[in-house]
Amino acid sequence: MPFIKQLNKDFFIKNNHIELSPEYIKDPKFSVKKITGTTFGSVLGLNKYKTPLKTWAIMVGIYKETMDETLAKTGTIIEPKIREYAQEKLNLKFKVYNPREIKYDVFKDDKVYGGIPDGEPVDEFGNISYSDDKPMLEVKTSSCDSLVYKQTEENQLRLVKDENGFPIVKVPGGKKAEWFDADNKFIIPLEYKYQLGLYLYLRKVKKGVFAVGFLQREDYKNMEDFDPNKREIHLVNFSIKDPSQLEKAIEYGREWYKKYVKSEPCISPKISSKEDIDWLKKELKIEIC
C-alpha cells in the first residue's frame, strides 16, 4: 500500500536507482512536492527514520507514508496548547495558518522550498511583524518515556497501547533523556535546527524560538485534558549564527532537487544503504543486489 504506484509500469529499478517512467511523468495528475522544513533534514541525511531515497519517493508521488493516528492528534490537539503557552510566556501573538487555505505552503515564490511555520509574530493589527527581533515559533512534542512501536505489514510504525488505551513504555524517561547532554544542558536536534533555519532563511529573518513540550503517558489518551502549565515545557531561543553553513545546506538542497526531482529522466538518489535495500525488498518483494 505505501507504494501507491506500480513497479515496472510507473517506475523501474535500474542501475541501483529508481527511475520514473515517461508515461507516469506525462500523466496530467503528476506533480512533485517541494522540500519543506519537515523534509529538509531528510534530504540532508539527518533523519534516522527516513532516508533521502524514501523522501524522494514521497516527493515524486510513488510512495505514501502515513503517521500514527495518536501521534497525528498530538499535532492538532496538544501543539496548539503549547503555542498558547508560548504566547503567554513570551508576551507575543503568533499567526497560525490554515494549511488547506494556503495549499500547505506560505513560500510560494520559491520553486524548491516550501512549508508552513508553526507561528509567525504579528503586531497589534494582526500583521506579520518581525520588528524588535520577534521570533518565529517552532513547536515540538516529545514523550518523556521511550514508547513501544510496531511495524505494520505495510512497513508503517504504529504506537502500541495496552488494554486501557495507554501507550506501553519501553524505557521510562528514555526519550526525554535524548534532549539533554552529559552536562544536563538542553539540546535541539540538528535536524530541527535546519527546519527552523530554513524557514527563517526564507523569511529573511534570523531569530526563532522552539517550544518543546514533554508528554506523560496519560497525555496520549486524554489529549483534551493536556495542561501545559502542569507539564515540562522548554522555550529555547534559536538564531542563525553561521549563515554560510545554512546557505551551503540550502544550496545543496536546491542542487539535489534539480538533480533528482526536476531532472529528465527523473532518477532517484542511488540505492546504496542497507536501510534502503531492506526497505525496497520488503515493500516491493524483489531482490536488490
DSSP state string for 28-65 = TT---PPEEHHHHHHHTT--SS--HHHHHHHHTTSB--
Q: Which is more confidently placed, 120 or 155?
A: 120
What pLDDT is recorded for position 289?
Answer: 63
What pLDDT is recorded for position 1?
Answer: 54
Per-residue pLDDT tens over the stretch 88-121: 999 999 999 999 999 999 999 999 999 999 999 9
Q: What is the pLDDT confidence band of residue 226, given thresholds at 50, 70 and 90? A: very high
What pLDDT is recorded for position 27?
Answer: 95
Instruction: Give the global pTM.
Output: 0.94
- Please name the residues in contact with 17: beta carbons below 8 A apart, sequence gap of 6 or more: 267, 268, 269, 270, 271
